[in-house]
């Protein structure tokens, strides 16, 4: 029986890098057998680090054509690796760079001694051909260096090209309106952003062994404005700007909006007297209530979306972003007022929306943002668990008089779609 073509591609596999192995077993299994791929070496934990543009450079992409790259990986095997190569491809699978790596090797079951056991390779990509939001594919190859153990007396390779999906994040902060005073964007970068690199998850590895592992969050997000334009990496935390926010809602999955709020609008007062920089429910409905097109960074293709179901979580931290309270304030889950910003995001199918029903900004709301992201990343909680834990902790502090201002924590609520109680910030 002929198997069906993969993913219905009429007999053609999707564009990608494919490898295969062939194993031969002779008359004495366990002794008289061989294969193409290495059985003596594997590439274990590995990560690629691309730089974040400096605050003064955002929202522009790197101004030079050279991009520094850092690749960290662990080699595991009973014998030292002979050679490592790092290949970098663009999304058309044209090779951009090929770099020799280091060959520090540790036994399979050893605990990693950092930094002694880490292969840390740094180089610069100079032939950039950026044509999509996620333009780089990294493949790590390693040669085991033990030809004496194989029938054909030839060293063999192992590789790693697993591409972990990192949900993109965007946080838009109106400066100078916090109970703490000063620059709110700077506060967010110093106090919240350090948590937003990865999520602690209990996951299986490639061998099916369960344990606490790092699930990454994209540190920033890519913007691609159409054919013939260059992809731009945006800083994850940006000053409030109505036009940018309305566009970038389409580019992220983790969204934070911190500004003055009032039912169906949110924003800041501009220095010019009487001028406001607001996003409204009507703005969002007009832009996202129907079908719209975006570039999918995972598939590398355009796709048509309906509403805002790509948003994992939306934090609307401002006064009355969910309107007035419509239920028991002691309950975290509550329906926002019809027509409010929270109601609009929920109607357009954002998975989880967290909002406030209090008519006053206070340090408690800032502390909630910090504690929520801490519990959702460092502690490895689901989005709903993290929100509940942060709220409960702040309610207890306020009850003991340890938190300033009013009883604001009870006014923080969430609304979620069916099944979203099991959703994490990262897969």
- pLDDT tens, position by position, 337-380: 999 999 999 999 899 999 998 876 667 788 899 999 999 999 99
Q: Minimal CA–CA distance to 237: which of 224, 252, 250?
A: 252
69 and 188 belong to one structural domain: no
Question: Exposed, middle or buried, 216 (CB in 10 Å: 0-12/13-18/19+)?
Answer: middle
Percent over 70 (pLDDT), the chain: 70
78 and 213 belong to one structural domain: no
pLDDT at residue 330 above 80?
no
Q: Furthest-apart CA pair in the chain: how many Å?
A: 88
**Is the residue at 1 inside a domain?**
no
235 and 87 belong to one structural domain: no
Q: How confident is the model at residue 402 (pLDDT cuts 50, 70, 90)?
A: low
Q: For 45-76, how does the pLDDT look when each residue is reduced to its tens digit (9 = 90+)?
A: 777 776 644 433 333 344 445 677 888 888 88
pLDDT of residue 361: 64
β-strand partners of 315 = 256, 354
Of all helices (H) and strands (E), which one includes residue 395? Answer: helix 383-399
**Is the residue at 239 inside a domain?**
yes
Percent over 90 (pLDDT), the chain: 27
The neighbour count for residue 230, using CB atoms within 10 Å, is 12
pLDDT of residue 336: 93
Among the candidates 108, 128, 160, a domain finishes at 160
Q: What is the DSSP letter of 411?
A: G
Structure tokens at 237: 């935390």
Could you tell me the residue range of the domain that residue 327 belongs to? Answer: 169-422
The contacts of residue 274 (CB under 8 Å, 6+ apart) are none
pLDDT at residue 17 above 70?
no
Among the candidates 104, 139, 160, a domain finishes at 160
Among the candidates 137, 160, 183, a domain finishes at 160
Q: What integer is the mean pLDDT of 256-285? A: 85
Q: How confident is the model at residue 253 (pLDDT cuts 50, 70, 90)?
A: very high
123 and 219 belong to one structural domain: no
Structure tokens at 393: 């902790």
Structure tokens at 422: 């099991």
**Is the residue at 399 inside a domain?**
yes
Most confidently predicted of 272-276, 285-289, 298-302: 285-289
CA distance 144 to 122: 22
148 and 173 belong to one structural domain: no
pLDDT of residue 300: 54
**Is the residue at 427 inside a domain?**
no
β-strand partners of 77 = 41
How far are the Cα atoms of 17, 57, 58 from residue 377, in angstroms, in the given order?
32, 27, 25
pLDDT of residue 234: 81
14 and 131 belong to one structural domain: yes
**Is the residue at 55 inside a domain?**
yes
Mean predicted lDDT score pLDDT of the chain: 77
108 and 229 belong to one structural domain: no
For residues 285 and 268, the model is more confident at 285
Q: What integer is the mean pLDDT of 400-411? A: 66
237 and 130 belong to one structural domain: no
**Is the residue at 352 inside a domain?**
yes
| Count of domains observed in the chain | 2
pLDDT of residue 171: 95
Give the dihedral of Cα atoms 272, 277, 278, 284; nearest 10 deg: 150
78 and 182 belong to one structural domain: no
Q: How confident is the model at residue 245 (pLDDT cuts 50, 70, 90)?
A: very high
The contacts of residue 201 (CB under 8 Å, 6+ apart) are 212, 213, 214, 215, 380, 424, 426
Q: Minimal CA–CA distance to 370: which of 175, 174, 192?
A: 192
pLDDT of residue 59: 34
Query: What CATH number is given to the structural domain containing 353?
Result: 3.40.50
31 and 50 belong to one structural domain: yes
Can you tell me whether residue 227 is helix, strand or coil? coil
Q: What is the DSSP letter of 218?
A: B
pLDDT at residue 29 above 80?
no
CA distance 142 to 106: 14
**Is the residue at 178 inside a domain?**
yes
pLDDT at residue 237 above 80?
yes
238 and 89 belong to one structural domain: no
pLDDT of residue 178: 42
Q: For 181-210, how does the pLDDT look when each residue is reduced to its tens digit (9 = 90+)?
A: 457 888 898 899 989 988 888 776 555 567
**Is the residue at 372 inside a domain?**
yes
178 and 81 belong to one structural domain: no
pLDDT of residue 1: 39
pLDDT at residue 180 above 60?
no
The contacts of residue 291 (CB under 8 Å, 6+ apart) are 304, 305, 306
In degrees, rounded to 5, the angle at the alpha carbon of residue 312 between the alpha carbons of residues 175 and 386 is: 75
- DSSP 3-state percent helix, strand, coil across the chain (nearest 5): 20, 30, 50
């Amino acid at each position: 029986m002929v198997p069906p073509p993969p993913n219905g591609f009429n007999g053609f596999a999707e564009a990608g890098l494919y490898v295969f192995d062939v194993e031969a077993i002779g008359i004495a299994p366990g002794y008289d057998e061989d294969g193409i791929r290495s059985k003596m070496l594997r590439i274990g934990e590995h990560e690629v680090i691309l730089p974040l543009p400096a605050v003064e450079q955002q929202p522009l992409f790197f101004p030079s054509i050279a991009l520094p790259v850092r690749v960290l990986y662990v080699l595991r095997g009973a014998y030292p690796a002979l050679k490592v190569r790092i290949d970098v491809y663009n999304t058309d699978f044209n090779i951009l760079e090929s770099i020799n790596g280091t060959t520090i090797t540790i036994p399979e079951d050893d605990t990693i001694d950092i930094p002694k056991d880490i292969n840390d390779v740094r180089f610069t990509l100079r032939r950039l051909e950026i044509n999509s939001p996620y333009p780089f594919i990294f493949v790590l190859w390693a040669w085991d260096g033990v030809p004496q153990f194989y029938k054909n007396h030839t060293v063999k390779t192992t590789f790693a090209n697993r591409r972990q999906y990192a949900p993109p994040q965007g946080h838009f902060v109106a400066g100078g309106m916090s109970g703490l005073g000063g620059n709110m964007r700077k506060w967010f970068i110093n106090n919240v952003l350090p948590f937003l690199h990865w999520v602690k998850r209990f996951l299986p590895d490639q061998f099916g062994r369960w344990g606490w592992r790092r699930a990454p969050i994209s540190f920033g997000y890519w913007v691609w404005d159409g054919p013939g334009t260059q992809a731009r990496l945006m800083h994850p935390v940006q000053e409030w700007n109505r036009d940018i926010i309305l566009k970038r809602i389409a580019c992220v999955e983790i969204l934070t909006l911190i500004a003055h709020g009032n039912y169906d609008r949110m924003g800041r007062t501009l220095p010019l007297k009487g001028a406001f920089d607001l996003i409204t429910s009507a703005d969002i409905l007009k832009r996202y209530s129907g079908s719209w097109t975006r570039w999918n960074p995972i598939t590398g293709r355009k796709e048509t979306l309906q509403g805002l179901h790509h948003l994992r979580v939306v934090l609307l931290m401002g006064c009355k972003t969910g309107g007035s309270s419509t239920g028991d304030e002691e309950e975290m889950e509550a329906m926002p007022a019809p027509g409010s910003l929270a109601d609009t995001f929920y109607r357009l199918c954002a998975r989880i929306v967290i909002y406030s029903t209090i008519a006053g900004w206070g340090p408690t709301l800032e502390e909630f943002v910090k504690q929520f992201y801490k519990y959702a990343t460092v502690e490895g909680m689901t989005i709903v668990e993290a929100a509940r834990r942060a709220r409960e902790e702040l309610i207890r502090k306020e009850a003991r008089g340890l938190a300033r201002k009013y009883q604001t924590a009870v006014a923080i609520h969430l609304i979620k779609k069916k099944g979203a109680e099991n959703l994490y910030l990262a897969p």
